[in-house]
Amino acid sequence: AAAFGPTSANGSPARFVWIRSEAAKQRLVECVNPGNEIKVLGASATVIIGYDPNFYLKLDRLMPHAADRLIQLFSSEPQDTWETAFRNSALQGAYLIIAARALGLDCGPLSGFDHDKINAAFFEGVDIRANFLCCIGHGSNESLMPRNARLPFTEANQIL
């Protein structure tokens, strides 16, 4: 279900690395901020949601009717290309969270990590870069926190 969420130009820039083995968890623990180690070690899986800054090179398959125009656009606008890759990989990560939650899994997205260490440990030799992490599994009642408040509609929205 997460694969079918929309992205700009159907670019699908996210790349997912599923950390499940103890060896991979130990590599990941070396990259996260203090306090997040226990979350990574306790999760059934921690997913590194990364992005491919060269996602547009696959548009001949993903958006064939406009591929030539879009490839030219993205290859000539590096800042727009990076923003599109980063933003849309975040969307894809959110789709993953929604799909996992629909299956009854608990999800804990994490930003507390060293991007350079993650990129060196898991993306050495490729152009993919880390966006965020998400721990997925079944939390215990002792470790699950109650849901905090959310902003009311009137405070977070403006209708013009």
- How far is Cα 132 from Cα 16, in angstroms, rounded to an integer? 10
The answer to whether the beta carbons of residues 63 and 84 sit under 8 Å apart is no
pLDDT band (50, 70, 90) for residue 106:
very high
Give the pLDDT band (50/70/90) at residue 96.
very high
Residue 1 has pLDDT above 80, yes or no: no
Query: Which pLDDT does position 146 carry in this prediction?
Result: 81
Q: What is the pLDDT of residues 65-76, one digit of tens each?
A: 999 999 999 999
CATH code of the domain containing 115 = 3.40.109.10
User: What token pair was written down for 103?
Assistant: 């299956």
Mean pLDDT of 77-99: 97
Q: How confident is the model at residue 143 (pLDDT cuts 50, 70, 90)?
A: low
- Is residue 56's pLDDT more than 90? yes
How many domains does the chain divide into? 1
Distance, in Å, from the CA atom of 151 to the CA atom of 139, rounded to the nearest integer, reads 25
Report pLDDT for 140: 76
Measured from the Cβ of residue 131, the count of other Cβ atoms closer than 10 Å reads 23
Over residues 38-42, the mean pLDDT reads: 95
Determine contact, residues 62/10, Cβ cutoff 8 Å. Answer: yes
Q: What is the pLDDT of residue 66?
A: 96
Range of the domain at 123: 2-156
pLDDT of amino acid 147: 82
